[in-house]
Amino acid sequence: MEKLFDINVGVMMKTKFVLLILALLGLSFASLSISDWSVSSDSFNPGASGILTIEISNPCTSSGAVVSCSGIVSVNSVTVDVNAPSQIVMTGRQNVGDLEAGGSTTISLPFKVSSSANSAIYQVEIVLSGFSSSSSTGGGYDSFSRRLTVPITVAKHPVLDISIDKQVIGGVDDVVVTITNQGGNASDVYLSIDSESDVAFYGSDKVYVPNAGQSVSVDVTIDSRDAFDGPTNIPFIIDYRDELGISHQDELSMRITVRNKKLDLDFLQQSDIITRHEGTLTLRVRNDGEETLKDVRLTFSDSSLRFVDTNEFKFGDVAPGEFKSASVIVFPDLTPGVNIMEATVTWIEKEVQKDEKRNVPVTVTSDADVGVYLEAKPLPLTVGSEHTISVLVSNLGSYSIENVEVSLSSPVLSLLDISDRQYIGGLQQDDFSTVQFLMKVNATEAGTYPATVIVNYRDQSGEWKQKVIEKNIMVSQSAQSDVNPLPLLAVLGVIAVGIWYFKFRKKPAKPNGSR
């Protein structure tokens, strides 16, 4: 949709440019021409006023130091008539008067947009007429009339405002941002925070809102850990398109209070953990305060992050500016990506036991993995022959993967297709798909050669991953050879599937009485 709007805006701008060029070319052959025109704004609200300005000239030509007016002496009784649609209210006629050779003048045509006008591009016709005299006609007069069409864009501008459901924030907070709109429709709305601010969105730079009608609310996470305590303004930036697809940007400031002075600790994850796999979670803590914190501990209350040996991180004493790390074994039953986890921090400060609730981000990696199997037709691969090599890609992980792309290369294979990459798209859990490559064997003799399969994909957390699989292919001298050209790994894969099917596959229950 965004590209479509970009195309529409580009077409409107090109239309204005073409109309201007045609108008100037059409009028330049008369003794009077419109050398330029402009509208006081790119677009107008219904009920708004504006000014259409045109510049009229009686041109002369020059060649070096010689100036020639081609026999034109003057243009007389010049009038400007306006033909506008009912939505654009303008004065019908203006008298310009006479223009001597080489002279010019600027005419301002005020207008008002009807309050009931719909969003659209309206065409206003300007008619220029008068009489011209020249020495070639012995002082006689020739009448002329030329027309110019000017586009005026009318769009009901959105009138946006913003609010959040919390007046006090500290650390990493989940908040609800509400955008209200008292004007025209706004689409493709992107909400961001000025990069110069000490407050930022956590996890992403922008939040996408498909449509902002009268009111729309979105859940966001705000990071205020770098902000000073006390009142501050959050400079929100809203990018959107109006009813005609024209892009706009509004800046709105929201007053809020930051309170981070209770505990100036920053937690950072230092190890990767995989969803639904037991692993070691290591967190590092930094004391940005001015006091030494003793016996710092962190516990999580969410049961989706299960602890194996102990249920807390023990960092010990942390001096100002010091870093400390602690590790525990966990089993994360969490979706891949950044998870904001509720936690409790306990410590001793100035011999006083204290505790504080915190939201700690924990990043969980997907267990996304792919398997690859090769098949060639016809068999075997022979020197100088063309073959279709099929690459089967299967999703071995617990979640779906997206944007799967496959490439195949080998020093003894020449690609005959246009592209060296084949796109699969998405694969659900346990799903698979096959792509084909048309290749020619350019080896000069039979033998075993390397081949590389590269699979690029994006896992459930949005991270891009790449798996590189090295295989061996066997090339025969002629088609009568009995050498199997399939990679050894593919053969082992088939054997493994057979073992699983006959030995480990769950067998159906026997009926009562059977042996």
Cα angle 228, 230, 233 (rounded to 5 degrees) comes to 85
For residue 218, give its domain range: 160-258
89 pLDDT higher than 70: yes
Quote the CA–CA distance of 203 and 456 in Å, as a whole number.
Answer: 23
Half-sphere exposure of 300 (CA within 13 A, CB side): 23
* Structural domain count, the chain: 4
Quote the CA–CA distance of 17 and 451 in Å, as a whole number.
Answer: 55
- List the beta bridge partners of residue 247: 241
Give residue 5's pLDDT.
Answer: 35
Alpha helices (runs of H) in 165-278, residue ranges in sequence order: none
**Of the residues 200, 231, 258, which one is the last residue of a structural domain?**
258
Q: Per the domain annotation, does 59 fall within a domain? A: yes
| Three-state helix/strand/coil letters over 414-458 | EECCCCCEEEEEEECCCCEEEEEEEEEECCCCCEEEEEEEEEEEE
Asked whether residue 381 falls in the same domain as residue 435, the answer is: yes
Asked if the bond preceding 332 is cis, omega within 30° of 0, the reply is no
Contact 86, 114 (CB under 8 A): yes
Contact 281, 270 (CB under 8 A): no
Asked whether residue 424 falls in the same domain as residue 491, the answer is: yes
Contact 367, 274 (CB under 8 A): yes
Q: Per the domain annotation, does 244 fall within a domain? A: yes
Confidence of residue 8 (pLDDT cuts 50, 70, 90): very low
What is the percentage of the chain residues whose pLDDT exceeds 90?
Answer: 32
19 pLDDT higher than 60: no
Listed residue (330, 324, 289) closest to 310, CA to CA: 330
Give residue 136's pLDDT.
Answer: 53
66 pLDDT higher than 70: no
Q: Is 42 exposed, middle or buried (0-12, 13-18, 19+ CB in 10 A)?
A: exposed
Listed residue (55, 18, 12, 248) closest to 153, CA to CA: 12
498 pLDDT higher than 50: no
Asked whether residue 188 falls in the same domain as residue 175, the answer is: yes
- What residues contact 490, with CB distance under 8 A and at least 6 apart? 373, 374, 375, 471
485 pLDDT higher than 50: no
Half-sphere exposure of 171 (CA within 13 A, CB side): 21
Mean model confidence pLDDT for the chain: 80
Read out DSSP for 294-317?
EEEEEEE--TTEEESS-SEEEEEE
- The 10s digit of each residue's pLDDT in 196-236 is 998 999 878 888 887 666 788 888 988 887 788 789 999 99
Listed residue (155, 97, 90) closest to 125, CA to CA: 90
Asked whether residue 443 falls in the same domain as residue 305, the answer is: no
- The 10s digit of each residue's pLDDT in 165-207 is 988 887 778 899 999 988 888 888 899 999 899 899 987 888 8
Q: Tokens 């006959």 correspond to what residue?
A: 502
Contact 254, 162 (CB under 8 A): yes
Asked whether residue 24 falls in the same domain as residue 138, the answer is: yes
- Strand 120-134 with 93-100, pairing: unpaired
Specify the CATH number for the domain of residue 181.
Answer: 2.60.40.10
**Of the residues 365, 397, 419, which one is the last residue of a structural domain?**
365
The single-letter DSSP state of residue 510 is P
Listed residue (181, 197, 193) closest to 241, CA to CA: 181
450 pLDDT higher than 90: yes
Give residue 68's pLDDT.
Answer: 52
Name the token pair of 197: 């601010």
Asked whether residue 208 falls in the same domain as residue 82, the answer is: no
Q: Mean of the pLDDT values across residues 431-460?
A: 92
Q: Per the domain annotation, does 509 fall within a domain? A: no
Quote the CA–CA distance of 473 and 386 in Å, as a whole number.
Answer: 15
Quote the CA–CA distance of 455 and 465 in Å, as a whole number.
Answer: 8
- The 10s digit of each residue's pLDDT in 128-157 is 888 776 555 555 667 777 788 999 999 888
Contact 176, 162 (CB under 8 A): no
Asked whether residue 11 falls in the same domain as residue 150, the answer is: yes
300 pLDDT higher than 50: yes
Q: Tokens 């069409």 correspond to what residue?
A: 149
Half-sphere exposure of 398 (CA within 13 A, CB side): 12
Confidence of residue 308 (pLDDT cuts 50, 70, 90): confident
Contact 343, 442 (CB under 8 A): no
Which 3 state secondary structure label does DSSP give 494? helix
21 pLDDT higher than 80: no
- The 10s digit of each residue's pLDDT in 378-421 is 988 999 899 999 999 999 888 888 999 999 999 999 988 888 88
Asked whether residue 7 falls in the same domain as residue 142, the answer is: yes
- Strand 168-169 with 247-258, pairing: parallel
Amino acid at 236: F
The single-letter DSSP state of residue 327 is E
Name the token pair of 336: 């891949």
Q: Per the domain annotation, does 194 fall within a domain? A: yes
Q: Per the domain annotation, does 475 fall within a domain? A: yes
The single-letter DSSP state of residue 219 is E
Asked whether residue 475 falls in the same domain as residue 378, the answer is: yes
Asked if the bond preceding 336 is cis, omega within 30° of 0, the reply is no
- Specify the higher pLDDT residue, 313 or 277: 313
Question: With left for phi above 0 and alpha for psi between -120 and 50, is residue 171 left, alpha or beta?
Answer: left
Give residue 365's pLDDT.
Answer: 84
Contact 300, 312 (CB under 8 A): no
Confidence of residue 24 (pLDDT cuts 50, 70, 90): very low
Asked whether residue 317 falls in the same domain as residue 458, the answer is: no
Q: Per the domain annotation, does 515 fall within a domain? A: no
Asked whether residue 148 falls in the same domain as residue 193, the answer is: no
Listed residue (373, 376, 369) closest to 460, CA to CA: 369
Question: With left for phi above 0 and alpha for psi between -120 and 50, is residue 47 left, alpha or beta?
Answer: left
Quote the CA–CA distance of 503 and 515 in Å, as a whole number.
Answer: 18
Q: Per the domain annotation, does 212 fall within a domain? A: yes
Asked whether residue 279 falls in the same domain as residue 229, the answer is: no
**Of the residues 331, 348, 365, which one is the last residue of a structural domain?**
365
Q: Per the domain annotation, does 513 fall within a domain? A: no
Give residue 56's pLDDT.
Answer: 84
Confidence of residue 16 (pLDDT cuts 50, 70, 90): very low
277 pLDDT higher than 90: no
CA dist 480 → 229, 383, 476 (Å): 81, 12, 8
